């Protein structure tokens, strides 16, 4: 699903949107270090389980600091280059034409010193869940400022068309030290909308619009 974003080459006056380099590992953890070297991925790497069954494990992220620790990971999983982003991500909910954005605390930045001194795999359960809301936090504007609305509208439009979805959400980060360089790090189809502000009204309007469009088609 993230490949759809990469194929867009979305860049305009409001900013640039891309995806981190990533690699899918389906089996055999012992082969991960060699596969990472061949693909040219740089450490540290975020490991995300491919299982999406709503279990606690499916929401667990791991951050691998060194080549040796990659063997400790448990496939099937996706490896993604970690991008420093100020410890905050933007969860963008799309319901038909409606777009709602909330802030969530995320993985902390990793300095070059930390990368050189740390080793192993660090696990982070339930990153960016509703309990990790950063909407009321006193954030540096360079970190907490929401992505430009026109950029989100164009991105949502292209993804609706490319993925054929009307109900999904995105996890977006802003590269730390930049104002307009964003990465889509995750896409979820039919996510838990109960966490979205004004969920009831937005979802009701969406269902009504579907019913009205179907009624008009039958009338014609």
pLDDT of 180 > 90? The answer is yes
Least confident of 38-42, 93-97, 133-137, 192-196: 133-137
54 has a pLDDT exceeding 70: no
Confidence of residue 57 (pLDDT cuts 50, 70, 90): low
The one-character DSSP state at 7 is: H
Mean pLDDT, range 203-216, rounded to an integer: 90
Question: When comparing pLDDT for 179 and 195, which is higher?
Answer: 179
Q: What is the layout of strands, in order, in the sheet containing 15-18?
A: 11-12, 15-18, 181-189, 167-174, 88-95, 98-105
Phi then psi dihedrals of residue 124, to 5 deg: -130, 100
Q: Which residue has the higher pLDDT, 140 or 152?
A: 152
Buried b (16+ CB within 10 A) or exposed e, 164-197: eeebbbbbbbbbeeeebbbbbbbbeeebebebbe
Residue 130 has pLDDT above 60, yes or no: no
Return the residue matching tokens 């494990």: 57
CA distances from 69 to 47, 216, 217 (A): 12, 58, 57
Instruction: Reply yes or no on whether the pLDDT at 132 is more than 80.
Output: no
State the pLDDT confidence band at 52, using cuts at 50, 70 and 90.
Answer: low
What pTM did the predictor assign? Answer: 0.88
């Amino acid at each position: 699903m993230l490949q759809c974003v990469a194929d867009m080459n979305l860049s305009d006056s409001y900013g640039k949107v891309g995806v981190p380099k990533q690699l899918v590992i389906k089996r055999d953890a012992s082969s991960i270090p060699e596969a990472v070297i061949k693909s040219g991925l740089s450490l540290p790497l975020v490991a995300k389980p491919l299982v999406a069954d709503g279990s606690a494990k499916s929401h667990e992220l791991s951050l691998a600091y060194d080549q040796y620790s990659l063997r400790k990971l448990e496939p099937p999983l996706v490896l993604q280059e970690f991008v420093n982003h100020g410890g905050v991500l933007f969860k963008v909910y799309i319901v038909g034409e409606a777009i709602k954005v909330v802030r969530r605390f995320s993985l902390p930045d990793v300095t070059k010193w930390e990368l050189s001194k740390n080793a192993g795999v660090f696990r982070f359960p339930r990153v960016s869940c509703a309990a990790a809301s950063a909407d009321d936090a006193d954030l540096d504007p360079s970190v907490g400022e929401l992505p430009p609305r026109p950029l989100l509208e164009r991105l949502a439009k292209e993804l609706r068309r490319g993925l054929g979805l009307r109900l999904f959400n995105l996890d977006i980060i802003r590269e730390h030290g930049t104002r307009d360089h964003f990465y889509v790090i995750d896409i979820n189809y039919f996510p838990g909308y109960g966490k979205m502000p004004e969920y009831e009204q937005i979802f009701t309007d969406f269902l009504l619009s579907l019913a009205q469009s179907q009624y008009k088609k039958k009338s014609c």
